[in-house]
Structure 1
């Protein structure tokens, strides 16, 4: 894969321009974008920057993080605090994401989206109010392991870290999650599945293809 050097500012503007012009292929009124990457790659930062760039273009958007859709601790940690299989396939409530985020944005949907569902620190429902997205508003969903769930994204961005960079930039207390990302590379192949790939081994000098 050939990657070209780019600044974060130019990348943000390029993605915002693309999303501002994007028409969903399934008849939905709301374009949906994924910002996929391990926590160490900080996909939420890019999602929020793109959301701000869309705002400056007069295009509303909603940034949603999958950390707001974690399962309750009793389910998430049933097999311990460092179970790789649970992290890979059971930590995030994909059913709730389908029901509360993607379902309302289907063709003919209401556009009424729940930005988050569960507070993992308090281990209780957030009670966050629903947000009514007008037609044309863009969903910017960020989090890890996003591309293996058949979510109906119209644009997918994968922020890639090499295994060495991922290990260096992941806190030691979270190194137990690293095998999940090795498995994700093998089973999902995000660098080939994504529409846009951003290499961020050196966070000051990203490179991309797209």
Structure 2
């Protein structure tokens, strides 16, 4: 007795897809690139980095990943930083350079000092983008509120000018605050403050080399 199996159904090359069943399109809304000056402050584990020179590097922030390269047109990456559980703020306790941001990686306890190459708008933009990348890296239930706010102002503002003798008092006041306010035109930007967090022993940024 011979049993003949029925032939398989014909294969449909162009299946009908319901639009409601399609996955949502993805667009990277957090993207910024450009040259900055970078200094590694703390190594893995939260101890002071032995070699801490400033060097000019190229940043490319795409979503929740920050890629550090030596030059713009190169495929060689110096390092790739995940923004998961990262914190970014103004390094008010670093006195050797102005307009310096601090990036802290909570999982590895590493810390970086970043000095954007540009005007005050570029500093605010880098802080905002790094904060946004860190905010969206976590799950929806674990995301924290953004720490940077920009508010519209009715009158034009300007930067405050301080005499050299009052600089130390200003630095002490900023080191005790949690955020600083920068007035640029009609915009008021509130940037978070992020101090150095050295583990196992204290660190004095005034004697930083």
Q: TM-score scaled to structure 1, two decimals? A: 0.30
More strand by share: 2
The structure whose RCO (Cα within 8 Å, separation 6+) is larger is 1
Computing the radius of gyration from Cα coordinates, the structure with the larger value is 2
More helix by share: 1
